[in-house]
Amino acid sequence: MHRWENIIIGLQFGIIFQLVLVGLLNILQKKTQYVLLGIFCFLIANLIIFYINLSNLKQNEVLYFFLGGSKNLFYGPVLFLYLKAINHKKMMKEILFHLSFPTVLYIVSMIKYYFVTNEDIKVILTYIDLLAFCLLILLYFVLGIKEYRENLKVRLKEKSKNRYLFFYYASNFYLLASVFLLIFYYFFFQRNHNFYNFLSSYNNASFHNYISIPIFLVFCLVLMIYGFTELRWIKRFIPNSVVFENKEILYDPVKLGKEINRLFEEEKIYKDAELTLDSLSQKIGVKQIEIREYLKRIRHTNFSDFINNYRIENFKSNLVKEKYLNYDLIGVAKESGFKSRASFYRIFKKAEGKTPGDYKKEIMS
């Protein structure tokens, strides 16, 4: 048993070093997405240090200030913010909002250690900590899935989609499992013991060594590999890389869709025969690739077919209006945005299966 404990401690120190290194390298990339991933690595490294030195930390006020407190309250919010930052550049307001509550509870946990001497109050505050941790993990897991479905699912390539989901589910699986195992151990093995001291006994229990630690080590391995392969300079050396690239991100599809609908249905910009993908991207203020990917993934079409469909529908609508009764077919077509007779006839027949002349005869007969 002594040998097994030494192996575990050795693994834990190795993991601490690697998590700190991976976390630091991600933070140095400076982009919000990677900074949050780096912070999450630091939080997990701190968790290991905390439990290795739990008894010493409780007796050392200086060490406890840096390594103690309820930092576990940040796990769920930081994971959620990391997922959200994949697609959002300006995150400061969201970060302040989502981290404010766990920060308050963290400060309370520090006050509990330094200033609260009443044992009953400590037990109550510890219960609050655990309850808040459980609720935050569950809440932010749900919020993360909602964020993925609404803003990421349609924008990521399949491999990148699987990669992010795997990491998010794996992380939350560990967090939820750790909570359930802790509660299970308390109710079935230590229910009659003082809850505040129970956390220390759990850390030394065989149940913890043979079940909780293996799950934790697997999770740390996933986190280290994932965090390492998120480094930009590593991505360049991975053939057929499945990691996420910025070009795979689209502008918010809801906002982009609304803006495209406004321009095409209200301003009818398709009537401009000189309209191109480049000029449309400049009007909206997004890259061409973002519009192209939006039309492909959301509208299941391409730019040429998309704009020509509007022009054909406008031509068909105008054809029966009194204003255009004296126009010939090409005149009506040009009013709808078609540039030449040849392209108009070709596009119309491809879409409708008949020539514009045959179509007019049908509706006028």
pLDDT tens track, the chain, 365 positions: 456 667 767 777 888 899 999 999 999 998 899 999 999 999 999 888 877 765 566 677 887 888 888 899 999 999 999 998 887 777 899 999 999 999 999 999 999 889 988 888 887 888 888 889 889 999 999 999 988 877 776 666 667 778 888 899 999 888 888 777 777 776 766 655 555 566 666 666 666 667 777 888 889 899 999 999 888 877 666 544 443 344 444 557 778 888 899 999 999 999 999 999 988 988 888 888 888 888 887 888 999 999 999 999 999 998 888 888 888 899 999 999 998 899 999 999 998 999 998 888 888 76
250-364 CATH = 1.10.10.60
DSSP-derived 3-state class of residue 105: helix
pLDDT of residue 240: 44
pLDDT of residue 113: 86
pLDDT of residue 242: 40
User: And the tokens for 174?
Assistant: 């560990």
pLDDT of residue 159: 72
Distances (CA, A) of 159 to 1, 85, 169, 330: 43, 19, 15, 47
Contacts of 212 (CB under 8 A, 6+ apart): 178, 181
pLDDT of residue 177: 83
pLDDT of residue 88: 76
| DSSP state, residue 54 | H
pLDDT of residue 181: 76
Token match 């697997």: residue? 218
Q: Residue 182: how many CB atoms within 10 A of its CB? A: 18
- The rounded distance, in Å, linking the Cα atoms of 13 and 239 is 32
Q: What is the pTM of this model?
A: 0.65
pLDDT of residue 65: 84
How would you class 40 by CB atoms within 10 Å of its CB: exposed for 0-12, middle for 13-18, buried for 19 or more? buried
Q: Where are the domains of the chain?
A: 2-235, 250-364
